Structure 1
């Protein structure tokens, strides 16, 4: 068997349509007697995986490939998505976050006979494996795994799996537990004592705050923001800085900016250093965190907030006419309805951030057909060694 290409999920594809994980284009494969795949002719782009968990963990797909190959492959995912809509443009830059940079991770926790296991799922499976030497995580997250195992024993029922979203902050770890176990009074006291003992900044259980020992703030420009428990945050600080730099570049010189799908202020607050900003987001708690961060900061221009579901009720052209530029950072589904109103508006500049090249290309086509030009596109690889790709682009009329 010869691997002819890679899918957008990182699977090797043969001429007869078979898909083989952890292979690269040009590699010739054979089958062993037990049915497993043997690489007979390895690619020159093949490297030794840096993580000992790679063969079992489902978190990474591309550790067997050299960094330049992965960067080129991810850029190709973006260019092919755009080409499907008739858009031909070169990628301006590719920015990959370093190892040991993930500041936020969602672990799976499961009780065992002797305690608990905390880690990630194996590929396409519900099986949880321990990842004590994960090469993605910040040391603070990796070193917290024993404490998270103890937390799993306290938080999980005997058979159900729990989710533990852990975020690094200046004040310590911010931990959000998702469990079907009832949070009663005695458990709340036990969890608060546990968080104190392990130096967690905050511990939350679903929608219930358990204890806040130190405010788990995040720095956005000049502002310190305390996001709601489990709120969206860019996966790495390095990736966030690249996306922010792209947004600043695309909106340079604007005096009034609207930040659509603003979250807690990743872009809105730094942009407020030079422009008045209106932040629009469906989550009232996230907007409240943004507003409080703005009010405590020094030297920022006016930031207004509006709670609004932009999928059901996008800003209309008459509302957009007040702005010189827009920043839009939708979830994976893209922003079809909001893009359509942006296309009909008079707004001259748009910074589009996307975590899905397919929906990005679809929405970009709408803007291009409306008279916008794509000035440049950057690829930002926050999710190193995965198939995940993020895009930042500048559109002008």
Structure 2
């Protein structure tokens, strides 16, 4: 049964928030100041109709918006949307007692996302390929995607056909699709165990369509061409399922901010280095020690540095920084540090950095909540927070990246 609600603000996940007698009610796809009808279920509700629209409501860019769960905010006017993301970072930092001027949001253009994770499932009427419905295991088949690079959208029918060929399960499974300089890299997960005949058919399809690689659960089925991306001027062949920033423009923006901060550092530690998106750019001016827990990613970084020209010395170390962070004594060998951890952040590593004498630190994060926690540790350890720049890498979603730059005065001897 539906009821009438007034939307007071946007919540952290981009849902409109209405006050009710029993507490806040979250209504997706609504905006502050709107009056709507919605069908309530506990603390959430399904939007039925917008009775009084906000002047900031605009037409969404995609025909699947509100059905597909990939985007939450296509209905929000662009400048107001960007301001909301910037204020979200400021609000979370302020909650940790960090009152810092937040830079302008680095915007994300449509049709720039180079890596998407599609959901697939075989049904009686054919193979479904798309994204999960909002807060649901149901897959919504898609025919367009305005956030993704055109190469991905143009290949949707081929990817659906490939999903059909590799499917050996009644359950849903995932296809991570990455646009590389060599073609599409498709990493399939949880599609079931393939027989030899099925593997050959899938491999022949990949060859015929010009894809760079097909892997299933990190096993390479066929790799006609090494999937290569550029980190600055360095070519790196990605291992199957490797982490890669979602958009090339956001990656470059983050690298420019970090590189500008560390330009005076002769020796830099890159922690949670991945395949080298920061390390290989920083190595143009500084010696870099890259620390990463994933062996395949570290190997890709090492190969990229060895075949590149004009770089300073690059060394690598495989190390689980969650279990064994670099100690403050080890860190004191460097005059610059950049760390870019997963969403969980880098609490223990931050405690060691806070105790160190490293003068320049750059913290990169995809989660403002854990970033705020880690920055609080660094500030309490004597670091001065110089700037925070939010970066909209995940267009029309509630997620926001940020780069924070810190300095610690050198101790007088």
- Could you say which residue in structure 1 is the equivalent of 2:26? 19
SS in 2 for 1:94: coil
- Could you say which residue in structure 1 is the equivalent of 2:394? 383
Q: Tell me, yes or no, if structure 1 residue 200 matches structure 2 residue 211.
A: yes
* Superposed structure 1 runs of 4+ greater than 6 Å apart: none
Paired residues of 2:166 and 2:199 also in contact (CA < 8 A): no
SS in 2 for 1:18: strand
Q: For residues 276 and 38 of structure 2, what CA distance do their matches in structure 1 show? A: 52
Q: For residues 18 and 292 of structure 1, what CA distance do their matches in structure 2 show? A: 52
Structure 1 residue 180, shift from structure 2 partner: 4.3
Pairing of 1:65-104 with structure 2 (within 5 A)? 65-104=76-115
- Could you say which residue in structure 2 is the equivalent of 1:246? 257
| Structure 2 alignment gaps of length 5 or more | 40-45, 409-413
Q: Residues 180 and 134 from structure 1, CA distance in 2 versus in 1: closer, same or farther, beyond 3 angstroms? A: closer
Aligned pair count reads 395
Q: For residues 216 and 31 of structure 1, what CA distance do their matches in structure 2 show? A: 46
SS in 2 for 1:277: strand
Q: For residues 36 and 268 of structure 1, what CA distance do their matches in structure 2 show? A: 46
Paired residues of 2:174 and 2:189 also in contact (CA < 8 A): yes
- Could you say which residue in structure 2 is the equivalent of 1:129? 140
Q: For residues 403 and 192 of structure 2, what CA distance do their matches in structure 1 show? A: 41
Paired residues of 1:325 and 1:349 also in contact (CA < 8 A): yes
Q: Residues 99 and 370 from structure 1, CA distance in 2 versus in 1: closer, same or farther, beyond 3 angstroms? A: same
Q: For residues 263 and 219 of structure 2, what CA distance do their matches in structure 1 show? A: 41
Paired residues of 1:93 and 1:377 also in contact (CA < 8 A): no
Q: CA RMSD in A?
A: 1.3
Q: For residues 194 and 356 of structure 2, what CA distance do their matches in structure 1 show? A: 49
Deviations 1:208-266 (A, max 9, x none): 11111111101011211011111100000111111111111221211100000000000
SS in 1 for 2:202: helix
Deviations 1:260-318 (A, max 9, x none): 00000000000000000000000011000000000111100110000000001000011
Residue of structure 2 aligned with 1:111, choices 109, 122, 129? 122
Residue of structure 2 aligned with 1:10, choices 8, 14, 19? 14
Q: For residues 324 and 307 of structure 2, what CA distance do their matches in structure 1 show? A: 30
Q: Tell me, yes or no, if structure 1 residue 28 matches structure 2 residue 43.
A: no
Paired residues of 2:327 and 2:352 also in contact (CA < 8 A): yes
Q: For residues 86 and 310 of structure 1, what CA distance do their matches in structure 2 show? A: 27
Paired residues of 1:262 and 1:281 also in contact (CA < 8 A): yes
Paired residues of 2:182 and 2:227 also in contact (CA < 8 A): yes
Q: For residues 36 and 139 of structure 1, what CA distance do their matches in structure 2 show? A: 31
Structure 1 residue 77, shift from structure 2 partner: 1.2
SS in 1 for 2:105: strand
Structure 1 residue 73, shift from structure 2 partner: 0.8
Q: Tell me, yes or no, if structure 1 residue 297 matches structure 2 residue 304.
A: no
Q: Tell me, yes or no, if structure 1 residue 64 matches structure 2 residue 71.
A: no
SS in 2 for 1:2: strand
- Could you say which residue in structure 1 is the equivalent of 2:411? none
Deviations 1:101-143 (A, max 9, x none): 1100010111123431211010011111122111111111111
Structure 1 residue 67, shift from structure 2 partner: 1.1
- Could you say which residue in structure 1 is the equivalent of 2:150? 139
Of 143-152 and 376-385, deviating more is: 143-152
Q: For residues 105 and 372 of structure 2, what CA distance do their matches in structure 1 show? A: 17
Residue of structure 2 aligned with 1:346, choices 357, 360, 380? 357
Q: For residues 196 and 169 of structure 2, what CA distance do their matches in structure 1 show? A: 20
Paired residues of 1:336 and 1:363 also in contact (CA < 8 A): yes
Q: For residues 115 and 37 of structure 1, what CA distance do their matches in structure 2 show? A: 30
SS in 2 for 1:219: strand
Paired residues of 1:51 and 1:135 also in contact (CA < 8 A): yes
Deviations 1:337-362 (A, max 9, x none): 00000000111110100000000000
